[in-house]
């Protein structure tokens, strides 16, 4: 009775090919994120010198870009924090779907206007969302209620209007929430305010 064994050269070749594919996946993910950030930068009406590290010539050095923090294990972007960065424009062209592992998104004290995109609700791992001290307009998106890992939310000092969406009641982990709205209180808004985890909410009622 004879037994057969796989050719050791073929086994070695297979392992080498398999291992070589692993970093390619990470590099592709990192490259996709870098390209998404560059696309957003190009859409801004003003990008300050502090964003000079965001460039195609520096594409493979994403984790050393200003305002960017990467996860140590995966090298994927985990935090985007250009707060007080003097950015002007909107986040209409920000590709949220490229940042599935993002835990912090902080645009505090910039010159960001326009509406809050629906796609912000895809950031399922987000813990901190700070859009305060900008010029965001229109309604507070109900999709923010999809951010169930959120612990800190600030939309203070914007130009939002309408009612606070009832989906905010999904944010059971929220320990700090500040929302400034010119608001006509509706039923769902009242229900949202009954959440004990949300406090220090500033309302300007008509």
Measured CA to CA, the distance from residue 33 to residue 51 in angstroms comes to 15
Give me the CATH number covering residue 159.
3.80.10.10
Q: Is residue 2 a part of any domain in this protein? A: no
Q: Domain range holding 102? A: 8-205
Instruction: Give average pLDDT by consecutive 10-residue segment, the chain, 206 residues.
Output: 52 44 49 96 95 94 96 93 97 96 97 95 95 92 92 91 83 76 46 44 38
**Burial readout 135-152 (b: 16 or more C-beta within 10 A, e: otherwise):** ebeeebbbbbbbbeebbb
The per-residue pLDDT for 165 is 84
| 199 domain-assigned | yes
pTM of the model: 0.77
Confirm whether 3 is domain-assigned.
no
Hey, how many other C-beta atoms are within 10 angstroms of the C-beta on 40? 21
72 found inside a domain: yes
Contact 169, 193 (CB under 8 A): no
What is the pLDDT at residue 194? 46
The pLDDT value recorded for residue 202 is: 41
Query: Please, what is the end-to-end C-alpha distance for the chain in angstroms?
Result: 91
Q: What is the pLDDT at residue 26? A: 41
Nearest to 104 by CA among 72, 129, 82: 129
In a domain, 1, yes or no: no
Has residue 130 been placed in a domain?
Answer: yes
Residue 106 has a CB neighbour count (10 Å cut-off) of 21
| Number of domains making up the chain | 1
Please compute Rg for the chain using Cα positions.
22
The pLDDT of residue 7? 58
């Amino acid at each position: 009775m004879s037994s057969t064994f796989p050719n050791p050269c073929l086994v070695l070749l297979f392992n080498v090919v398999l291992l070589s594919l692993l970093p390619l996946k990470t590099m592709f993910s990192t490259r996709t994120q870098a390209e998404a950030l560059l696309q957003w930068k190009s859409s801004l009406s003003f990008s300050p010198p502090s964003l000079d590290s965001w460039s195609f010539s520096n594409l493979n050095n994403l984790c050393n870009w200003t305002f960017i923090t990467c996860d140590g294990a995966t090298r994927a972007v985990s935090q985007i924090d250009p707060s007080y960065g003097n950015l002007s424009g909107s986040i209409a062209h920000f590709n949220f779907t490229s940042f599935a592992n993002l835990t912090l998104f902080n645009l505090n004290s910039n010159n960001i206007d326009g509406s809050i995109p629906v796609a912000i609700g895809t950031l399922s791992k987000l813990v901190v969302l700070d859009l305060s001290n900008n010029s965001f307009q229109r309604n507070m998106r109900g999709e923010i209620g999809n951010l169930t890992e959120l612990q800190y939310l600030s939309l203070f000092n914007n130009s939002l209007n309408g009612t606070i969406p009832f989906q905010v009641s999904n944010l059971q982990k929220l320990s700090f929430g500040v929302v400034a709205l010119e608001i006509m209180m509706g039923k769902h808004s009242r229900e949202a305010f009954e959440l004990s985890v949300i406090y220090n909410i500033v309302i300007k009622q008509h």
